[in-house]
Structure 1
Amino acid sequence: MTALLLRLAGPLQAWGAKSRFTVRATELAPTKSGVVGMLAAAVGRRRIDPIEDLLALRFGVRKDQPGTVIRDFHTARTLDGKNSMPLSKRYYLADAVFLAGIEGDRALLEGIGEAVHNPAFPLYLGRRSCPPGQPVSLGLREKPLVDALRDEPWLASDWFRRRHPEETFQMELLVDQDAISPKDRTGDVRGYRDVPLSYDSRRRDYSFRDVERIMIPIEKRPVDDLDPMSALEEADACS
């Protein structure tokens, strides 16, 4: 089993699955349609190109830093500035960090990993206004998807860790049910309508998938107080 891990972190993210008309909502975790779309952009596929090989990849996401839902009251005008566009409410996740993973054929994952490092089209976290704030690809792991997501170190920011003084931190793991072995089953299953059958703007279509929810306690690692002058002192010592 091979899994490719992805760090999805940035000032803003927006993973829509139920947006309608002037209300553009966001889910509380990355959707399969959003991540598959990002990977398709990385390898250079356009909206009308086939994506069957990407849909066959098993998908999971871990909430390392859930973030906060914020609302933007959005206004816009036409390019010539003469007419106003419809007012809309757009929701985002602020300061969120997720660990996502895909499992499948190693050769395919290698190609995707290389493309994420050098994408054919710009990558964004759900919407074009949400670019990643850190490198996305964390590389391949030679283990099943659930084990890869469970074993990876906690990716939360230092300030977030300081605000959670508990000895352990419960992280929510959402994984395609067909990627979970019987020993990892929890029975907490829910349906998501976020499997993209077509990204074509003339005929967007999605189907359902079953997702299993697993809660993972992660032992906290001590976070040293940041001294902003230490880097300058080290640089002076080396000069």
Structure 2
Amino acid sequence: MKTLVLKLAGPLQAWGTDSRFAYRHTDPHPSKSGVIGLLAAAQGRRRSDSIEDLLGLRFGIRRDQPGRVIRDFHTAARPDRSMVQPLTYRYYLSDAVFAAAVQGNDDLVEGLAKALRQPRFPLYLGRRSCPPASPPFVAVLTRPVSEVLTSTARESGVPWLASPWWQRKQPVDVHLDIVRDADPGELEHDRVRDVPLSFDPHHRRFGTRSVVTDVCRLTNDVSRRRVRTSHDPFDMWEKADAPDAD
């Protein structure tokens, strides 16, 4: 089994698993349905094509740079104004960076990696208005998702993918949140409805999956918030109040 690693970064991202009517929300991290849709687009599959072979992929994400939620207003109308769509509220993640990992059999993963290098269709981070800032492909590794995301060693995991300016603002000890598919027999932390059974516009269907949360701990060597332990601001006052040695 191999694991394909992706970097999902862009000015805007939107990963909605619970959008209704005029409110189009986004989750705080990429959804499995959104990433599978991105991989299917890279292979040139159309929405009505089968994605059954992709449903067995094990999936996980790591929030390397959480970003922030912003809101936009959207409406549409025909040129002759004969029909105007209602105003909708659309939420996005701004300046976020995620490490995503999908695990499957060797041939499938290698085929997906090749497609990401030369995608057939344009790739989007959840919505068509959200193109990636750079090609998503990072690497193909021979470790499971759980190990790939909890390690930042290049030979066995995913380096911290956050922007340099973000890394400098973070503390020395950094904890990166991980959300991944639960392993067989592992106690689930939550269930989410984002397994795409069909992308067909006329028969869109989604199933649920069990997920667990984890954390990746690392030492931030470029932090500007290092604690200086060699200087005590009260030291000079203690010396001034001390009695003379004689």
Give the TM interval when normalised to the shorter protein.
Answer: 0.7 to 0.9
Q: What's the TM-score once normalised by structure 1's chain length?
A: 0.87
Instruction: Report the equivalent of 1:168.
Output: 173
| Identity in percent | 49
Which of 1 and 2 has greater Rg?
Answer: 2
Rounded Cα–Cα distance in structure 2 between residues aligned with 1:67 and 1:81: 37
CA distance in 2, matches of 1:112, 1:81: 43
Partner SS for 1:26 = coil
Question: In structure 2, what is the Cα distance between the partners aligned to 1:34 and 1:103?
Answer: 16
**Residues 94-146 of structure 1, C-alpha deviations (whole Å, 9 max, x = no match):** 00000000001111111111101111110000000000001200120111111
Contact 1:158/1:223 (8 A) holds in 2: no
Partners of 2:15 and 2:179 lie apart in 1 by: 15
Runs of 4+ in 1 over 4 A off after TM superposition: 79-82
RMSD: 1.6
Q: CA deviation at 1:79?
A: 4.4
Q: What secondary structure does 1:91 align onto? A: strand
Question: Does structure 1 retain, via aligned residues, the 8 Å contact 2:103–2:144?
Answer: yes
* Alpha-carbon offset, residue 6 of structure 1: 0.3
Asked whether the equivalents of residues 74 and 90 of structure 1 are also in contact (C-alpha less than 8 Å), the reply is yes
Q: Secondary structure at the match of 2:110?
A: helix
> Which residue identity does 2:174 align to in structure 1?
F
**Could you tell me how far 1:75 is from its partner in structure 2?**
2.2
Aligned to 2:49: 49
Match of 1:129, SS state, is: coil
In the alignment, the residues of structure 1 paired with residue 79 and residue 126 of structure 2 have an alpha-carbon distance, to the nearest angstrom, of 24
Distance 1:135 1:213 in 2: 27
Distance 1:173 1:112 in 2: 22
Q: Which residue of 1 aligns with 2:3?
A: 3
TM-score by length of 2: 0.84
**Alpha-carbon distance, 1:77 to partner:** 1.5
Structure 1 counterpart of 2:183, which letter?
A: D
- Deviation, 1:221, is 2.9
Shift of 1:81: 4.6
Q: Which has the higher helix share?
A: 1
Question: Are residues 1:118 and 2:123 paired?
Answer: no
The 5 Å alignment of 1:1-239 reads: 1-151=1-151, 152-164=158-170, 166-178=171-183, 189-222=189-222
